[in-house]
Structure 1
Amino acid sequence: MKTKLFRKKSVNQLLQKHGKVQLKKTLVAFDLILLGVGAIVGTGIFILPGTVAAQYAGPGIVFSFIIAAFVCAFAAMCYSEFSSSVPVTGSAYTYSYIVFGEIIAWLVGWSLLLEYGLAVAAVATGWSSYFSSLLSGFNILLPHEVSGAFNPDNGTYINLPAVLIIFLIAGLLTLGIKESTKFNTIMVCVKVAVILLFIVVGAFYVEPTNWQPFTPFGTSGVLNAAALVFFAYLGFDAVSSAAEEVKNPQRNMPIGIIGSLFICTLLYVALSLVLTGMVSYTKLNVSDPVSFAMQMVHQDWVAGIISIGAVVGMMTVILVMLYGGTRLVYSFGRDGLLPKVLCEVHPKRKTPVKNTWIFAILVALCAGFVPLDKLTELVNMGTLLAFTVVSIGVIYLRKNKDIPNEGFKVPFFPVIPILSFVLCIFLMTQLSAHTWIACSIWMIIGIIIYFAYGKKHSVLNK
């Protein structure tokens, strides 16, 4: 019984792409960097630098972003070694299958599914609010009944824009990964251009006195803020889901993962510095601090463009997170842990079309009917769990002599993987009791599904 639960995948079998079931290799390092920037730079950059600065760190939020980036960088290096050594779709789920065995892999994958699904639903809900606000600027008002989660007391029954944007992005994903990355490239360029516009225009309105004092809440405030803004970086792990569709993954995967993290850190730090220099941090506890800062200096035209950038920015997050979720479900189906229909690939487009629509419909139901404000921390729990497994898993990966030695290697081994593991565990302890209870319920559901279906149908039974 124990042997079956912890049976591991053969690395040779993985690298042979499971026979005929495989995805098309089309992506290069630049595509991966843009996927990473698309996933990371979303709602976080337009909201967190203001609200967290006001409540926790003041202008010192710049240090918070840098500290959080270092923590993420440790995990990113561990992901890079895995994805360049074992370039197969499935991210942390597949890596766990190799080093820890089936039951651990399933639980990691199940938690990641929660991360991707709720991230898509939550961002789609946020996108709906920004989109409605943008339309109202043109005197176009959406009916109240179809622009919010199900709440008869409030007069709302379905968040229709959130549902429609998920279906639109799902349709794009079914066309093919190359088409999806082209769309992502355009949207990321627009989003980064908007952020750079704010930085350049805002720099002329910086008042150095607004940076005094730079760390009004002290070192503890900066560290508390780092634990919060850490979640602004979530999404780079979705890049590793693309490993099987990457040309020369040994070179391109590390460039994509670490490169996107580096670019996003520069954007976060520069925007935070300008934002807290334009307006006193005490005034930034608003839902749209970036647009608010521009309105304070009477640059309303820039504020309008920033709203457009926020709408575009969230679309790329939905795209990359939905992509990561569908590729994870594809891996479940290919391994027999979920029905085989989930790993069927369209003969022409080489994408898992059925899987994409099934996942999109389930996520759209959450976005359309469920208010997600109390569940967003679950996204963080799923991610941190995956980070801890990948971090400690690298140590076991190095001991496996069947895995090719070429590709990226984590420097200062094993210090960095251990540090990454400890820091991720620490951040998990900072999450609320509600989050731990909800995550436990989700895990129990996953265990029931595994014993009722996955264990019997796993391809490793053969």
Structure 2
Amino acid sequence: MRTRLQTLRKHPMFRTRSIEQLTRQSQGEQGLRRVLGLFELILLGIGAVVGTGIFVITGIAAADYAGPAIILSFIISGLVCILAALCYAEFSAMVPVAGSAYTYCYTSLGEIWAWIIGWDLILEYAVSISAVAIGWSAYVTTLLAGSGIFLPPAFVHPPGVEGGLVNIPAVLIILVITAVLVIGMRESARLNTLIVLINIAVILIFLALGYQHIDGANWYPFMPFGWSGVLAGAAIVFFAYIGFDAVLTAAEEIENPQKNLPIGIIASVVIVMVLYVAVAAMLTGIVPYGDFHETGAPVAFALSRIGSGWGAALVSIGALCGITSVILVTLYGQTRIFFAMSRDGLLPRYFSEVHPVFHTPAKVTIIVGLATSLLAGFIPLDVIAELVNIGTLAAFIIVAIGVLVLRKARPGIERPFRCPLVPYVPILCIVSCAGLILLLPGVTQLRFIIWMIVGLLIYFAFGLKNSENNGARTS
């Protein structure tokens, strides 16, 4: 039996790739230029997260799930993300190359698990890009309507929704951002920095305007739906944190990654959690939580309630900026996952070709941009947005397992950043994420399983045969 197990572990699909191999690969012709500093990295993480969640999900979760205790829901989800961030940070400092969780699993758990997490991330990012682009389109349409410009329903809705043919604004914003990403990461980071600073300024203005209008009676009862509502709310608002792991897909383009990556990912998650808790407290203090049933733009709604029309308009512009930054960073993350998997042979080599002038994976960026724009243009939001949470939670679980495995398999390897309190932090991360998965609807879990089965079929038909591991040494 032991001999059979040893033989099975030597099969290419269970082999790992050494950190040294991956580092050498990133420094070759298919490597990417390191152009991002710590400040840009932190803003990249904030830009990946602060958007749809803070401007849309907050009101829905308060009204339908947790009431004023949505504050606790955001804290619980944020703590789960911090646990995951600590695990990610250990890997990112050891393996500062493109690919995020996919690459980390390749070094610790083996190729089959790397494929599974990579396929999972492809789903997560693709549906996130499309869903957020549809939200961007809705905000633009509303702002234009407020100015007396009304777009035809046929061009702002997908087929089957209110007489729609194609959601043109959603398609256009993805194509514009695709063009920016093709030109270069430095230019993309500068655009993201500008957008995020505007977004944070708008949030701070909202907090300043709303502070004097807090009514403590709106926080009573604090937990109208009990702890079950708080936990269900945490599973829902987890959507608001999705995207922070996109920071790690930039690992190969970051200056001094061993130092900057751990700081960047943990700092961005902590800053975002503080902003979310502050906004949630302010919203439920200004407006009774049940009134948020009336709106999909809770921050602007709250400012309108206190008579600040200019503030509501400013927040709508800020929301548009925030959603734009989320699209930019998520689309960036999607292309780097494809890039890393292609460079390892699990996807066609075409996806890992680097543009000779821009030094970006231009071909895969264009393909991903076109594919996600088609999803956003022709598929309804409720169909494409259901799988985002479960994909991210699954990625967190596998990364935490990877930390435990690599600590045992290679205890002496240099770790510029060490996740504290191992094995307790990774185990707590695994249990917390699994609990949130169980709180998601059953149909979401079923669709996720189907997606993973399709991915395994592709792996055995193409990836296993063409993998670098078939010719590379095992670690």
Q: What TM-score bracket applies, with the shorter chain setting the length? A: over 0.9
Q: Deviations over 1:190-234 (max 9, x none)?
A: 111111111100112112222222223333322222222122111
Q: Is it true that 1:367 corresponds to 2:376 in the alignment?
A: yes
The 1-side partners of 2:23 and 2:412 are apart by 10
Tell me the distance in 1 between the aligned counterparts of 2:419 and 2:303: 42
State which of 230, 234, 239 in structure 1 corresponds to 2:242: 234
AA at the equivalent of 1:417 = P
Q: Tell whether 2:24 aligns with 1:16.
A: yes
Matched, 1:334 2:366: no
Unaligned runs of 5+ residues in structure 2 are 1-6
| Equivalent residue letter for 1:292 | F
Matches of 1:275 and 1:430, distance apart in 2:
25
User: Which deviates more from structure 2 when the two are superposed, residues 379-388 or residues 317-326?
Assistant: 379-388
Is the alpha carbon distance of 1:437 and 1:406 closer, same or farther for their aligned partners in structure 2, counting shifts above 3 Å? closer
Out of 173, 184, 198, the position equivalent to 2:192 is 184
Letter in 1 for 2:173: I
2:52 corresponds in structure 1 to: 43
**Residues 375/191 of structure 1: CA separation in 2 closer, same or farther (3 Å cut):** same
| Count, aligned residues | 461
User: Is 1:170 matched with 2:164?
Assistant: no
In the aligned structure 1, how far is the partner of 2:435 from the partner of 2:225? Answer: 21
Q: Distance in 1 between matches of 2:376 and 2:122?
A: 15
Distance in 1 (alpha carbons) for counterparts of 2:441 and 2:290: 26
Q: Return the letter of the residue paired with 1:186.
A: L
**Distance of 1:280 and 1:308 partners within structure 2:** 24
CA distance in 1, matches of 2:405, 2:290: 48
Q: CA RMSD in A?
A: 1.5
Counterpart CA distance in 2 for 1:341 and 1:456 is 16
TM-aligned CA deviation for residue 410 of structure 1: 0.8
| Residue aligning to 2:470 | 461
Q: Find the aligned partners of 1:282 and 1:369 in 2 and give their Cα distance.
A: 33
Query: Which residue is 2:274 aligned to?
Result: 266
Deviations 1:304-358 (CA, angstroms, capped at 9, x unpaired): 1111111111100000100000000001110111111110111221100001001
Q: Give TM-score scaled by structure 2 length.
A: 0.94
Letter of the aligned partner of 1:326 in structure 2?
Answer: T
User: What is aligned with 1:280?
Assistant: 288
The worse-fitting range, judged by mean Cα deviation, of 3-12 and 82-91 is 3-12
| Deviation, structure 1 residue 88 | 1.1
- State the match for 1:451 in structure 2: 460
Q: Is 2:136 the counterpart of 1:121?
A: no
1:68-87 residue pairs with structure 2 within 5 A?
A: 68-87=77-96
1:381 alignment partner in structure 2: 390
* Pairing 1:110–2:119 present: yes
Q: Which residue of 2 aligns with 1:58?
A: 67
CA apart distance, 1:74: 0.4
Determine the structure 1 residue equivalent to 2:202: 194
Between the aligned partners of 1:413 and 1:102, the Cα distance in structure 2 is 24
User: With structure 1 as the length reference, what TM-score do the two structures score?
Assistant: 0.97
Identity, % of aligned positions: 49
1:99-138: per-residue Cα shift (whole Å, max 9, x none)? 1111111111001000000000000011101111111111
CA deviation after TM superposition for structure 1 residue 402, in Å? 8.3
Structure 1: segments with no counterpart, 5+ residues:
none
Q: Which amino acid aligns with 1:361?
A: L
Match of 1:215 in 2: 223
- Helix, strand or coil: the match of 2:387? helix
SS at match of 1:348: coil
Distance 2:217 2:432 in 1: 35
Tell me by how many angstroms 1:31 deviates: 1.1
- In structure 1, the partner of 2:4 is none
Maintained 8 Å contact 2:219/2:285: yes
Provide Cα deviations, 1:52-100, integer angstroms capped at 9, x if missing partner: 1122222221122111111111001000000011111101111111111
